[in-house]
Structure formats: C-alpha cells, structure tokens
Amino acid sequence: MSREPLNRDENLRKQRLVFYENDVQRLNAEIDTFLELSKARCALLVDRDGHLVTRRGEPVRTSEDTVSALIAGSFAATREMARLLGENEFAILFHQGTRDSIQLQLIGERTLLATLFDGRTNLGMVRFYAQETAGRLAEVLETIHSQIRKADLNADFGTRAEDALDKLF
Amino acid sequence: MVQINFAQKTVNVKIVYYGPGMSGKTTNLEIIHQRAPEGNRGDLTSISTDGDRTLFFDYMPLDLGTVAGMRTAFQLYTVPGQVYYNSTRKLVLQGVDGIIFIADSSASMINQNLESLRNLEENLNEYGKSLATLPHVIQLNKRDLPDAMSVEELSRAMNAHNAPLFEAIASSGQGVFPTLKALAAGVLRNIMSEGGTKAPFPAPTAGAAQAHAAPQRSQVDASPQRQAAAPQRQAARQPAPFTHPAPHAMPSLAGHPGYPQTAGMPAAGGGFLAPGPAPMVHAPVAGPPHAHAHPPQSGGLQLAQPMPSGANLQLAPVGRPQPQRQAPAGGAHAGLGAPAPARQARATAPAKARPSAARPAAAAPEKSSRGRFTPVLIVVGAGVGALLAWVLMNVL
C-alpha cells in the first residue's frame, strides 16, 4: 500500500538518526552487561538501513560496515518473507556455523542486535540474555528516536565535505 | 537515512544505484572500487546469481575521510535490475539518502528505462519518499552505442524533475565519478539543511532546452566562479577528456538553479540547490561505438529470469570478471580503457542450496534402473509360480 510522500522537512526529522555520545554510552553499558552474562564474543547494534551504531566485545575480523550491511539485508529479506507468509515479523534470526554462530534480534522498530558467539557459550544462553537486553535497549532507543535532535555538525562541514569530495574524485 | 553518530564521530549516507537490468549499475560500482584510493574504499560485496546478475545488492563503503571531525562515509548499493527481483530491490531502498539512476541510452531500452523509473517512484512511495524531493541524478550510460538516443530525447522522456544528467561509458570508466560526485555533494548539502526551510532538491524550475557545443572534456560542474577559483583542483578531479565531440544536443539546465555540481556549499548549510548560472552538468562522452548486445532475453526489466531452485548464490568480496555487457572503449581512451575491475573475492552462498539441487538429480537414475528391472521380475515371478503350480498338480 503506497503512502503519500511526507513533507520533506517532516520526513527528514523523522528519519534522520542522530546518536549523541551519552546515548551510545547507555547502549554500550547494556550491551557490555549482555556480553558478560551470555559469554558471547561480540555484539553489533545496526540500524535497519545497514549503518553500524555501535560494536562491543571482540572486533569483527572483516569490515564491520560490510557485515552491518549484510545483517540489515538479511533481516530485511526475512521480514519480507514473514510478511508474505502472513507474519508481522520474524523477530529473531539464527545462523549456525561450524565455529561461530550469529543471532539477530530486532530491537524496537528500526534497530538490530547481532550477537556473534562460539563454543564458549550456547544458543540458549545467548537467546535468554538477548531477550532481556532487547527490552532495555528498546527503551533507550525509543527515547532517542522520540526526540527531534539537532545534528550539530560544524558549520563548515559542508564546505569541508566538498573539499574532501574534490580530493577524492 | 543519514546516520549521524557523535559517539563514533561518523556520518553515514546511503546511496543506491537504480536502473533497468544490464544498464551498468554494477559496472559503475566496480569502476569506483577499482579507481578509488585504496584507503578510501572498502571491499566490494556482491550477492549475485551464478549468471552474474545481481540478486540482492552489491555493496561498497566509500570513505570520504574525516570531515570537520566526523568520519564521513558513503554506503554505495546497487539493486537487481530485473523485474523479477522487485521485492529485493525495494528492500535495498530502505533508508536511502540519494539515488543514481543508471539509464541505458540504447533506443531499444527506452521502455525498460521508463518502467524502471516508474518502479523506482513506486518503491520510494512505499517508504514515504519521492523523486520530487529525494536527491537524485541520472546517468545516461552506454553513450557509445550506435543506436544511442540523444541526450535531449532521453532527458525529455525521463527527467521529469530536472535532475542533473551525466553521459557515461561506464565500462571504460567515463562519467562514473562525475555522476557519483554530483550526487554525493547534493546529499551532503542536504544533511546540512537539516530539513529546514531550504530549497527542495531538485529545483522545481524547468530547464530550457538548448543545444550544447559538445565540449571536449568531461564537464561535471560548472560554477564559473569556482572554476576560476580553483582551476587546478578541478582539472585534477575531472576524468580524462574524451577525444570525440558528443554528436548530440542536450537540454541545458539554464535557469535551473540547482546542481552547482562543484559549487561551494552554503557555509550555513543551505539547501541542496543554490541559485546561480546554469551549470553544465553533464559529461559529454563519445568513443568508438561498440557492440552492446541487448538480446531480448537479457535486456532490462522485460526480462524476468527466475532463479532456478538450488542456484548457486554468490556472496562476498568477489572476484567476478567483468561481464561482457560492453566492449571496452578503445582507441584514445587508453587511460580509461583498462578492463573493468574484478570484484575482490567471492564466497559461495549457503552450501545447503546445492544439495537440494543435487538430490533430485541423484535420485533420478536410481528410480529409472529400478523401473527397468520391474518387468523382468514380474516374468520371473510368474514363471516360478507356474512351475510350482505344475509341481503341485502333477506330483502331489
């Protein structure tokens, strides 16, 4: 069902994701507790567009940007599948590997928690603590998204960005 | 949507290459991957079919570096062009900040171009967006085709919102960077506008059609003031000049206040568009014509190629050879005529996909050999039965 395009300004305010430092500190604290309890290797908080919000625990071996994009893509595809099957959403995805596994969990409306874990723990532990953490993260994210935030980029960001573009191309 | 993360000090922008199948979206990304400085580009990841058609998306992060204390990165995505993959195409558009529409200049592809454009608008509407307000540029690719339509014709047919047009021969790299740069600049300007009371993107004013003099160099920008101010820098960032004049006319964007492609952004973050003299926003190209095959089976949106079950999906930093969609531009474009880049690596998709295809194949011969012996068994059984009956009747 098509929706009418929103007014551009309203659209931008609603859609832009702005994270301040203390937001991310709160999110990090929750994720750190989760990692400690679940014994998972690392956790990535990714927005639905594929942008990484924060990563805690061990670093990912390859590009975190690419992993984040693929996580978002994987979740988006599953969501569409759920819709076609009459489900609103498959809120949890699990991919099992021989050494590492990954669980993806929807947090609120527009964020995903990806947990990478290995033989030091098991799926039950990860799922249990992820479920608990999801609720707390959702509260923090809801606060963030409910506020209209000013992105206080430097006034000369535009000019400098243009210079950087000139240099790059 | 733009993500601004003050904790990580990052600004992330999502740019999507859209267009009909085989128009050159993946080729654009491959060229960027090949030619962008190593420190700025990430791996090119592709989720494609065995036939090297994009199944879900190609993805490459492009790092602009640290700008005013914020690490600014463009996440570049392509979508699958074939009609069949509309559901995945729509998913990739989620949160898009800017669109580069890659059109195939071939006259035989005009319907596919229009269909794809219509489909883009539809899919954007699903997310509450529209081309009328979303930053976008149009790249007219494959300008070297013998049956390429004129820029004017294509503009009239496709450019309802007066977006900047760029001519390109993506297979040889011509026009690829000017296109990306124009959109990137526009999206960054949009970030600064913060949804305030700035001019919408693109400008609502219509450009007056005007023949252009087919300049000899790729021209992306064109704020005269800026050109005068930084000629050297501009020369450095322009792609190698083309050697043939473009044999066509295009509507100029005179009166189009937007797209000062390299014009300075308003310091206070003005709108995406800034008033000024009409910028020359297209990069005229010409080269030796080369054969782009558009077989009815492989062209664009008319083509629905359902992926066979158990098809071998490809995922990952890949090393796929340049598909033979376009012959390399030769001759004078020596610097640009290098073979298209290979993707970095390729991982194969879930191994489970393959056994499912293999199983029926393995089962088939077994079934047929069993069927072959069945009549023999029946005859032998009947013979044994008759023999037993004879023994019973005559001996007992």
Cα distance between residue B89 and residue B116, in whole Å: 11
Spacing of C-alpha B301 from chain mean position: 13
What part of B 215-244 touches A (C-beta under 8 Å)? Answer: 230, 233-234, 237
Instruction: Tell whether B284 is covered by a domain.
Output: no
Cα distance between residue B81 and residue B101, in whole Å: 11
Residues B230 and B368 in one domain: no
Q: Which residue would you say has higher pLDDT here, B152 or A18?
A: B152
Query: Could you read off the pLDDT of B262-318 as tens digits, one per residue?
Result: 333 333 333 333 333 334 444 455 444 444 444 443 333 333 333 444 444 444 444
Domain count, chain B: 2
Closest CA–CA distance from residue B357 to any residue of chain A (Å): 21
Instruction: Tell whether B298 is covered by a domain.
Output: no
Residues B15 and B129 in one domain: yes
Domain boundary among B225, B251, B277: B251
Q: Which residue would you say has higher pLDDT here, B55 or A77?
A: A77
Closest residue on chain B to A162 (Cα): B185
The per-residue pLDDT for B390 is: 85
pTM over 0.90: no
The per-residue pLDDT for B384 is: 86
Residues B361 and B212 in one domain: no
Whether the per-residue pLDDT at B327 is higher than 60: the answer is: no
* B349 — pLDDT class (breaks 50, 70, 90): very low
The domains of chain A are located at 12-168
Cα distance between residue A130 and residue A122, in whole Å: 12
Alpha helices, H only, B127-241? 151-158, 176-193, 224-229, 231-237
Which tokens is B315 given?
Answer: 């995922």
The per-residue pLDDT for B67 is: 87
Cα distance between residue B130 and residue A102, in whole Å: 36
Contacts with B122 (C-beta within 8 Å, 6 or more apart), sequence order: A2
Which tokens is B50 given?
Answer: 């065995």
Query: Could you read off the pLDDT of B206-265 as tens digits, one per residue?
Result: 333 333 333 333 333 333 333 333 334 443 344 333 333 343 434 333 333 333 333 333
Which member of A53, A77, A164 has the closest CB to residue B91?
A: A77
Instruction: Tell whether B48 is covered by a domain.
Output: yes
Please give the ipTM for the structure prediction: 0.76
The per-residue pLDDT for A110 is: 84
- The C-alpha angle B96, B100, B101, rounded to 5 degrees, equals 115
Most confident option among A16-30, A147-161, B268-282: A16-30
Q: Considering the domain A12-168 in this protein, what is its CATH number? A: 3.30.450.30
Q: What is the DSSP string of A71-112?
A: HHHHHHHHHHHHHHTT-S---EEEEE-SS-EEEEEEETTTEE
Residues B245 and B365 in one domain: no
The per-residue pLDDT for B370 is: 56
Closest CA–CA distance from residue A40 to any residue of chain B (Å): 22
Task: Write the DSSP symbol of residue B217.
Answer: S
Domain CATH code at residue B232: 3.40.50.300
Cα distance between residue B249 and residue B208, in whole Å: 12
Tell me which residue range forms the domain holding B237. Answer: 3-251
Query: Could you read off the pLDDT of B7-44 as tens digits, one per residue?
Result: 888 899 999 999 999 999 999 999 999 999 988 888 88
- A96 pairs with which residues across the strands? A101
Closest CA–CA distance from residue A11 to any residue of chain B (Å): 8
- The C-alpha angle B304, B308, B310, rounded to 5 degrees, equals 150
Which member of B3, B8, B267 has the closest CB to residue A159?
A: B267
Number of separate helices (H) and strands (E) present in chain A: 5, 6
The per-residue pLDDT for B372 is: 64
Domain boundary among B231, B251, B271: B251
Taking all residues of chain A, what is their mean pLDDT, rounded to a whole number? 85
Domain boundary among B251, B284, B300: B251
Residues B93 and B227 in one domain: yes
Query: Could you read off the pLDDT of B371-388 as tens digits, one per residue?
Result: 566 777 888 888 888 888
Residues B91 and B232 in one domain: yes
Residues B107 and B223 in one domain: yes
Contacts with A1 (C-beta within 8 Å, 6 or more apart), sequence order: none
